[in-house]
Amino acid sequence: MSVMSENRLEIRPLAPALGAEILGVDLAPPLSEATVRALRAALLEHVVIFFRDQELAPPQLLALAGRFGEIAEYPFVTGLPDHPLVLPVIKEAHERANFGGVWHSDTAYLERPAMATLLYALETPPVGGDTMFANMYLAYEALSEGMRRLLGSLRAVNVAGKAQARQTREEMHSRRGTAADVEATSATHPVVRTHPETGRQALYVNLAHTLRFEGMSEAESAPLLDYLFTHQIQPELTCRFRWRPGSLALWDNRASLHYPLNDYHGHRRSMHRVSIAGDRPQ
């Protein structure tokens, strides 16, 4: 455990691989520049940071997100009527599909994927509905030298309409879907990306969106991609966060994957999500 006394922030690592809970800060009022710098440093170090017992109405959530970068609109589901950049992520008690319920990196199918995401819990099930995160720095570093050399020369095609992802947004899309063309949305990115702030290399493929390697067919790509999809979510590379109302997670989408568990059928779960715009992966 480390303490950032100058900002009265206490940082409690959640797991050796990644993740830390931040104590001693109320995120609702405007934050000082020093506090924002401290939080950004914690995010870069721990990849995902968590806060408890926050009270964040949509305007406050947007204001908080804006301190970390430009806010981005999610392309396939509409936001709140009065705050369109705030995406309601709701699973009703009778529903079965869990929005985003597969290991993924947010909007990897865009030319400029989200840099980071904030997710705020309004209503949570009595048990279940946790979110898992995986560290893609460590996933890359755990590969052999030969594999790292091979992957360094590859680019991957990432699509929005891959079956594993499409199935997880069916119910959300039926309620709040937009006219955006899911099937036509794709982008090609390096399989290994260099983080623009830390300079570290991270594995940048994911089961939900990565379809194939550039210049190869899906069949040719599948053996290596299947290996990477399994490799990058080894338990030693992950942490698990249990939500309760008022909890907030902020993750660095450039160096992580996440997976919301779908183990709470019969209970309602309601969250607000805001995405922060990113750059083109290099």
- In sign, the C-alpha dihedral spanning 141, 238, 93, 265 is positive
* Distance (Å, whole) CA 253 – CA 275: 10
Q: Which residues of the chain are under the pLDDT cut of 50? A: 1-6, 179
Catalytic residues, by residue number, are: 104, 106, 258, 273
* Distance (Å, whole) CA 239 – CA 159: 26
Question: What pLDDT is recorded for position 164?
Answer: 66
Cβ pair 150, 203 in contact under 8 A = no
Question: What pLDDT is recorded for position 5?
Answer: 39
Residue type for position 44: L
Q: What is the pLDDT of residues 9-41, one digit of tens each?
A: 899 999 999 999 999 999 999 999 999 999 999
Q: What is the pLDDT of residues 113-158, one digit of tens each?
A: 999 999 999 999 999 999 999 999 999 999 999 999 999 999 999 9
Structure tokens at 214: 């550039």
* Distance (Å, whole) CA 255 – CA 185: 22
Other residues' Cβ atoms within 10 Å of the Cβ of residue 2 = 12
Q: Note the pTM of the prediction, 2 decimals.
A: 0.92
Average pLDDT, the chain: 92
* Distance (Å, whole) CA 165 – CA 100: 7
Domains in the chain, CATH or no CATH each: 2-276 (3.60.130.10)
Listed as own residue / partner, the contacts of 226-233 with beta carbons closer than 8 Å and 24 or more positions apart are 228/203, 229/103, 229/205, 231/139, 231/142, 231/143, 232/103, 232/134, 232/136, 232/139, 232/203, 232/205, 232/206, 232/257, 233/103, 233/132, 233/134, 233/257, 233/259
